[in-house]
Amino acid sequence: MQVELSQPEFQKPDRLAVFEIAVIAGIIVSLALQLYLQFTQKINWDEFYYLAQIYDYQRGGLSQPLQTFQVYLFGWLTLLGGSEIEKIVVARIFMWLFEAATLFFIYSIARGFVSRNAALIAVLAYISSGVVLIHGTSFRADPMAAFAMMLCLYILIRLPLSFKNLFGFSIVAALAALITVKIIFYAPALIGAALWRITTGPAPYKTLTRLALSAVATVIWFGLLYWLHLSTMPFADTAVAQAKMSSAFTTTLLSEGLFPRLDAMRQGLDLARIQGLLLFLGAGVFLLDFARQKVKTSTVIMLFVLASPLLSLIFYRNAFPYFLAFIFPSSMVLAGYFVDRIKHMKLATAALCLLMVAGALSVTLLRNSENMAIQRTTIEMVHRIFKQPVNYIDRNSMISSFPKLGFFMSSWGYKNYLKRDEAIYAQALKDKVTPLLIINSPLLENAVGQNSFQPRATLLQDDIKVLRQNFIPHWGAIWVAGKKFTADITPQNFGILTPGTYRVEADNPVVIDNKTYVPGSTLNLDRDDHSVSASVATTLTLRWGSNLYRPDAPAPLKPLFTGF
């Protein structure tokens, strides 16, 4: 039996008013602007990493069973044509569809507590905010997790607690937990909604029994799906995975004090000032109404419950801008609550809606200036240089279809790297033929000597040494295995860590391992020490590959990644 919910009157329910149609148009415009951004705005570094996990799984090299369930949901991406850019754009469109469904759940949940007009404006406030426009459809776990959590809340709050609905709840919640553990921040909202449903429904014991069985079913589904996922990963190490999750828990929660990402919150508010104001005023007016006993206790509990995910901003160190798009949907009911309280100020409400849509347009134009052209050019150039996948080193698996060596260079990954205190790149070059290096991180820029300033964070000295001595510039951010030095009549020794065919680039003939090579010739060098000399002093470059493609056009000067 469906619980009767408070639905304040604002407009007649039988047909949409002109103002409501205008708000819906604003929502559609914001969605259209966001869809446009999927084809133009830059790719963030962890979107490449998310795609790379799919390729790693299909190669049989993925060893992380937790938070990698997208390898099934998006495994078909690897079958598509085009570069990594095109695949991520297609995936973003699917994330956009997830978000469109999330908007429906925001509206439906809000309708339990506010008028139709206010619920629509709550949806508009969410979709038109800058952080949502930019990050709400990124190819990462967050859009799917937000969809799943809002669907679960929708089932608990708005639907009959039938077997079919609770069965769906258990599967969705289990899948969400496999996609990301960040759904834990919605746990207070889910538990609160369940308790609210038990205490306000007509058959509390029956409701309690059904919800308890649904919780058990969620755990069973999670365990079963996790076991099936683990069974397909021959190199999975559950002990390492559990250690990583434990490390993640201690690192991301309260490791940097209260409000560790206050800068990201400020950035989010700068991109959504009207929306932030609506949320703040909604909370303030609601508390004032509660103090004056104008709000039912059950409504008080539920509005606080729906806003509870925001508490994660107090202690979660990874509350970057994209996290805000994930954590805000359920709290938007507070914005709708404020709109209901000023429902007679139609001109002010209309102005707020117009400002939100105008802000969405402004954010879109601003974001469009940070386009993906440089990333696209670099990735296409890599695929033109290397027709087949090769091992490579970079920040974040930017060439997702190639096997990457080394760690994901996030702030958390860098901390773990320093904690291990192991020269991983020196060992990687000894273990695998690695002819490619993408300079797409300040850490790597410093390692190869491209930074003119002294950075606060650097790789270990042994790793800096091995990268600097074994790679040479090729085109822009693309470096390849090679050596560059001055050869003269005095023989000198040099080591090779990346075996293979090398091309001689010099002005005069050189002698390598007692054999003479003219400029432009090639030779095979194994992973060993070698000697070089020249009868006439000359600058010598040994470049990996027999004749790697190298365009005449100058490479882009701008960095490949410029923040969120």
Q: Model confidence over 121-142: pLDDT tens digits? A: 999 999 999 999 999 999 999 9
Please give the structure tokens belonging to residue 113: 């507590």
Average pLDDT over residues 233-241: 69
Do residue 344 and residue 437 come from a single domain?
no
Please give the structure tokens belonging to residue 181: 């553990």
Strands 500-505 and 522-525, by their bridges, are: antiparallel
Do residue 51 and residue 193 come from a single domain?
yes
Whole-number Cα distances in Å, 189 to 52, 344, 427, 511: 33, 31, 47, 72
Average pLDDT over residues 2-28: 67
Question: Considering the chain, what percentage of its residues have pLDDT values greater than 90?
Answer: 73
Going by pLDDT thresholds of 50, 70 and 90, the confidence category of residue 239 is: low
Average pLDDT over residues 147-167: 97
Residue 559 domain-assigned?
A: no
3-state secondary structure 92-159: HHHHHHHHHHHHHHHHHHHCCCCCHHHHHHHHHHHHCCHHHHHHCCCCCHHHHHHHHHHHHHHHHHHC
Do residue 49 and residue 191 come from a single domain?
yes
Do residue 416 and residue 345 come from a single domain?
no
Please give the structure tokens belonging to residue 105: 């759940």
Instruction: Quote the CA–CA distance of 395 and 415 in Å, as a whole number.
Output: 14
Please give the structure tokens belonging to residue 538: 């000359």
Q: Give 256 or 268, the one with higher predicted confidence.
A: 268
Do residue 207 and residue 174 come from a single domain?
yes
Decide which of 347, 368, 389 is a domain's last residue.
Answer: 368
DSSP class of 437: E
Residue 553 domain-assigned?
A: no
Do residue 305 and residue 385 come from a single domain?
no
User: What's the structural domain count of the chain?
Assistant: 2
The SS3 call for residue 464 is helix
Instruction: Quote the CA–CA distance of 208 and 379 in Å, as a whole number.
Output: 54
Give the pLDDT confidence of 314-329 residue by residue, as tens digits.
Answer: 888 888 888 999 999 9
Domain range for residue 355?
Answer: 18-368
Contact (Cβ atoms closer than 8 angstroms) between residue 286 and residue 334: yes
Task: Say how many residues make up the chain.
Answer: 564
Residue 558 domain-assigned?
A: no
Whole-number Cα distances in Å, 139 to 43, 174, 378, 408, 544: 9, 20, 20, 16, 34
Stated pTM of the model: 0.91
Do residue 132 and residue 180 come from a single domain?
yes
Helices (H), 400-541: 411-420, 424-431, 442-447, 461-470
Residue 563 domain-assigned?
A: no
Whole-number Cα distances in Å, 96 to 52, 144, 173: 20, 10, 20
The SS3 call for residue 161 is coil
Dihedral, CA of residue 122, residue 127, residue 132 and residue 138, to nearest 10: 130
Going by pLDDT thresholds of 50, 70 and 90, the confidence category of residue 240 is: low
Burial of 228 (0-12, 13-18, 19+ CB in 10 A): exposed
Going by pLDDT thresholds of 50, 70 and 90, the confidence category of residue 10 is: very low
Question: Is residue 373 predicted with pLDDT exceeding 50?
Answer: yes
Do residue 22 and residue 90 come from a single domain?
yes
Contact (Cβ atoms closer than 8 angstroms) between residue 146 and residue 132: no
Question: Is residue 244 predicted with pLDDT exceeding 70?
Answer: no
Give the pLDDT confidence of 421-456 residue by residue, as tens digits.
Answer: 999 998 999 999 999 999 999 999 999 987 656 667
Determine the residue type at 244.
K
**Which of 405, 415, 535 lies closest to 470 in space, CA to CA?**
405
Do residue 381 and residue 336 come from a single domain?
no
Q: What are phi and psi of 482, to 5 degrees?
A: 170, 175
Q: Which residue has the tokens 């065919």?
A: 501
The SS3 call for residue 483 is strand
pLDDT at 265: 83
Cα dihedral across residues 124, 130, 133, 136: positive or negative: negative
